[in-house]
Structure 1
Amino acid sequence: MKPTPPDDPQAHGPESLTFTLHGTPAPMRDYSAAQSRRGRLMMLAILLACALPVIASYFTYYVIRPQGRTNYATLIEPQRPLPALGMVPAQDMDGRSVPLTTLKGQWLMIVVAPASCGKTCERNLFLQRQLREMMGPERDRIQKVWLVDSPEPIAPALAAALAAKP
């Protein structure tokens, strides 16, 4: 058997393949520097649009520090000294003595008013109850406290209304 030259198409039989290379693809020569610059600017604009809200929020929170609050209560100014918790006589709505130390570490909503509660006082006590109910699942963590600053007894109708469940 005689070796056949590699360029002979009949050398390897009818199933042999041929490959012809006409030329390599030319790079895109019409892609200009202006298009490249415009593409980069578009990418930077998209990146800036995504990052700007985050940057603005950090700037506002840490630099500007807005002071607006949504608290419904007011602080007592000037602060008044209170006696030690064990020295203040306290009682619940049933008249039983309650040590104030049991309130320590709890969330308290406090109303200070005389026992002869007028319309404004009654409204404040009603709002105290409603605000506690608005807390939803957290309402059991909040204790309502009415500090009565007068020796007279609480009106029976008001005591019944306060003891009623909302």
Structure 2
Amino acid sequence: MRTHTTIESPVGPLTLVMTGNALTGLYMNAQRHRPPEETFGVPADGDATFTPIAEQLSAYFAGELTTFTLPVAFQGTPFQQRVWNALLEIPYGETVTYGTLARELGKPSASRAVGLANGRNPISIIVPCHRVVGSTGGLTGYGGGLDRKRYLLDFEKRVKTETLF
């Protein structure tokens, strides 16, 4: 059974979608490739099922959490799933290029395909697609918009720097 709820965050409302006990979607408003609302299942407002996710997101945005420990389930092609799993390995506050990610996946000429899969990431923030940048380190497309990508990267770098001292 699919359920969903919406919570507030510093980057705007976030729609959380669960299938069973696993998070299958985290979408920002006006996000590119956001599925139609009717695919999110029944509203679960007031349901405690989403409490652990909301608490971890709150701790993340407070600068108190750098690694999420939530059950996630990906629904995509095998290649997309490989890319999304690789995103989970990018350390907090750091970035990698599309080309580097392609090489790590054993597909050195597939940086464009990695970018397309990255853009279809259904669980933004928790699966940190915002940590992937262009070959020169510049910000490139982000499903949630470049302003949000810039905010998330700057936020993580600031938190990481503050916790080192």
- Smaller-chain TM-score range? under 0.3
Structure exhibiting the larger radius of gyration computed from Cα positions: 1
TM-score normalized by the length of structure 2? 0.25
Higher strand share: 2
Which is bigger in relative contact order (C-alpha 8 A, separation at least 6)?
2
